[in-house]
Amino acid sequence: MVYLHLEEEDERLVQAATSVIRRNFIPGRHHVGAAVRGESGRIFTGVHLESSAVDVCAEAVAIGAAASSG
């Protein structure tokens, strides 16, 4: 397996995703964190949303947070 070096800006995405799920982890409800970087460099995060009514991936939530912020 080939491992590529992560750039510092990529490490910040990993740290942001890790941080958001650590703050919001609830078994069976929020168990994945995601982070995306906008063109401005600003990082947006999201957590997986799961309930009996909805199941939305953390990536979609993070992208929605970015889109909602302009």
Q: What is the pLDDT of residues 23-50, one digit of tens each?
A: 998 887 778 999 999 999 999 999 998 8
| Cα separation, 49 vs 61, whole angstroms | 8
Q: What is the pLDDT of residue 70?
A: 82
Q: What is the pLDDT of residue 54?
A: 85
Q: CA–CA distance from 31 to each of 7, 25, 60 (Å)?
A: 26, 6, 14
* pLDDT over threshold 90, residue 67: yes
pTM of the complete model beyond 0.75: yes
CATH class of 8-68: alpha beta
Average pLDDT across the chain, whole number: 92
Q: What is the pLDDT of residue 66?
A: 96
